[in-house]
Amino acid sequence: MTTFAIAFDIGTSGIRAQVIEQQSQEIIATVITARHPIPGANVIDHLHFALEMGINSTQRILVQCINQIIKSFPIDHKQIMRMSVCGNPIQLSLFQGIEIRDLAFAGKQKQQALGISTVNREALITNAGQIKYLNLSDQCEVIIPPAVQHEIGADALAMIIQSNMLESKETTLITDYGTNAEMALLHNGCIYSGSTAAGPALEGQQINSGMLAAPGAITDILEEPPYYRLRVLDAEMNTVNGPLIEFNTNTVIDPHSEYPIRGITGTGTIAAIFQAMSKGLIHKAQINTPDNKLHLGSNITFNNHDFHEAGKAIGAIRAGHISLCNAAGISLSDISVAYMSGASGTYMDAHKAQQLGLIPTQIKKVYQIGNTSLAMAKDLLTDSSQLQQMTELATQLQENHCMFARSDVFKKVFMLELAYWTEGMPWSLYQNFLKKYQLPAIAEELSQAEIVQTVTRDINTLGSHGLTTLTNIGQKLDAHMNGCLACQSCTVECPEQAIKLSNTNGVATITLDQSLCNGIACKRCEQICSDQYFKLSQFFK
C-alpha cells in the first residue's frame, strides 16, 4: 500500500505544507494558507492570544486548520504514516499545547513568580494520538524538532542546516529578515547566534501603506531614468510592472499597471529607502521633498514615520550582526559569505540590502535561499537522523547564544542606529562612536558581491499536484454577548470586516470570522462597544 508523509512549516503569516510519497520520496502536492488561523498579525500576537484565551482554544484553532490542510491533500489521510512540523518555538508549543508563558515573559523573575519551571522543548517523536484535535490515525508518527533557548527555535536551526553553511570553512553569516530577525555567525568552527526584535516593518507592518506579500503589493522600485518603475505582485505572486512615477511628488508619468497597487511590502520598503537615499532625498532623517513624503503612485505614500520604523528594523539587524561579530572577536568585513533567508530574504534586492547595511558592506558572496522551515520538515520525514543533527546543533548554539536584549554591545550599537535613522546623526559620528566603544569601524566601500539566488520563489518544488492556496481557513464562531444592544458598532469598527451581526427573534448573534480577526493587538470591537458588553473571549473560551 502506498504510504505518505506530510511536512508542515507553521510560520508567521500562514502554514505551508507538503505531502510526499514515502516509497519514492516524491513531493505530491503543496498546500499553503492565505493567512494564519490564529487571530493576530504576527507571532507575538498569537502568543498573546494564547495567554488571554487559553492554550487549549488556541491549540484547537491551529490544529483544526492543520486538519483542513490535511483534508485538502489529494490522498487518503489514513495512509499518512508520518508527520513533521517546523517553526518557531511559539508556533510549535501551540501545536503541542504545551507551556508558552516562558516565551511571553522572558524575565526570569516573572517566570519564577508564575511557577514556570524549565520547559522541555527538546526534539520529540510522538504519535498523532498525543496531539489534541489532530485528525490522523493514532499510529501516525509525529516528529517535533527542538528549540534552542526561548527565542531561537526549530526554524532557526532549519535555516542554519538547510543553508549548508556549516560545511563552509569561510566566515559565514545567515539572517532571517523578519520580525524576530534570527541570525547566526559561523567563524572558526564556532556558531554565534542571536535574535533581535527588529519589529515587523520589514514584513510590511507599522508602515502606513504596508502589507504582507500578496497580490497588489509593491515589492521593488527600479530606476528608469529619470523616473522610477514600481514592481508589483500579481495574482500569481509573480513580479510585474507597475506605474512609472516621479517619486518626489505625486506626479505619475505612466499610470498603467499590470496589477492594481494596494500597498507596499518590506522589500518594497527597502527599495523605497534605497532609492530615496541614492537620490539624496533624505536629510537629517527627514524626507526632503516638498511635502516630506515619497510618492509611490497616486495613492501610496511613504512618510517620515515609516522611514523611522523601517530604519529601526534595519538598525536592529545591523546591531545584531555587529554584536555577533563582537562575540566572535571579528569585524563585519571579515565575513565572506552571507545567506538571506525567509520570505523577505528571498525577494529582497540584495544590492539594495547591501547598500543599506542589511548585509555587511564587504561581503563577497550572497546566497538568497528560500523557505528553509518547510524544507527541513520535509527532510525530517525521510531522514530521521536529521533530528539528531538538529539536537546537536541546538546544543552547540547554546554555548554561544547571545541575548541581545541583555548585551551591552547590542544596546550601544542599537542606540547609534536609532540616532542614525531617526535623528539623522551623521555616519562619520557613528563611526567615531564605534571607535570610542572599541568596536571595529564599518568599511564604507561596497564590494561587488556575487549574488546567488538559489530559488526562484519561496517554495521551489511544488509536486505533481502543484500548489493549492486555502483562503477559507478557520471558522466562523458565534457568540451571544449579555446586554448586547445590536447597535452594530462592532461590525462597522472592525478593520478587517470580520464581524457580522444577525438578529433572530430579538436575539442578537454575533459571528466572528476568526481567520480575519486581528486578535489581541486590535480589540477595537471591545473598545467601541458602548457599555463594554463585547468580549472577544466569548468566542474562544
Could you list the residues that contact another protein (CB under 8 A)? Answer: 44-45, 47-48, 51, 104-111, 113, 197, 199, 225-226, 246-249, 251, 253, 279-281, 284, 290, 403, 405-406, 411-412, 414-416, 418-419, 423-425, 429, 433, 520-521, 527
Min CB(245)–another protein separation in Å? 11
223 or 258: CB nearest another protein: 223
Q: Are 240 and 333 in contact (CB under 8 A)?
A: no
Min CB(402)–another protein separation in Å? 13
What are the residues whose beta carbons fall under 8 Å from the beta carbon of 28, sequence distance 6 or more? 4, 18, 19, 20, 21, 73, 74, 75, 463, 464, 465
Which helix (H) or strand (E) covers residue 258, if one does? Answer: none
189 or 225: CB nearest another protein: 225
Cα distance between the two ends of the chain: 42
48 or 476: CB nearest another protein: 48
What are the residues whose beta carbons fall under 8 Å from the beta carbon of 526, sequence distance 6 or more? 532, 534, 535, 536
Q: Are 81 and 22 in contact (CB under 8 A)?
A: yes
Residue type for 532, please? Q
414 or 539: CB nearest another protein: 414
152 or 337: CB nearest another protein: 152
Q: Are 364 and 449 in contact (CB under 8 A)?
A: yes
Say how many C-beta atoms besides its own lie within 10 A of residue 532's C-beta: 11
103 or 217: CB nearest another protein: 103
429 or 452: CB nearest another protein: 429
Q: Which residue has the cell 518547510?
A: 374
Min CB(433)–another protein separation in Å? 6
Min CB(517)–another protein separation in Å? 15
Say how many C-beta atoms besides its own lie within 10 A of residue 229's C-beta: 17
279 or 457: CB nearest another protein: 279
Task: Print the SS3 string covering 142-166.
Answer: EEECCCCCCCCCHHHHHHHHHHCHH
Rounded Cα gap, residues 87 and 180, in angstroms: 13
Rounded Cα gap, residues 517 and 41, in angstroms: 9
Min CB(206)–another protein separation in Å? 10
Rounded Cα gap, residues 340 and 366, in angstroms: 7
The alpha carbon torsion through 323, 327, 330, 333 (nearest 10 deg) reads -30
Min CB(144)–another protein separation in Å? 23
Min CB(89)–another protein separation in Å? 14
Rounded Cα gap, residues 118 and 105, in angstroms: 13
126 or 298: CB nearest another protein: 298
Min CB(424)–another protein separation in Å? 7
CA 273 to chain CA centroid, nearest Å: 20
Min CB(426)–another protein separation in Å? 9
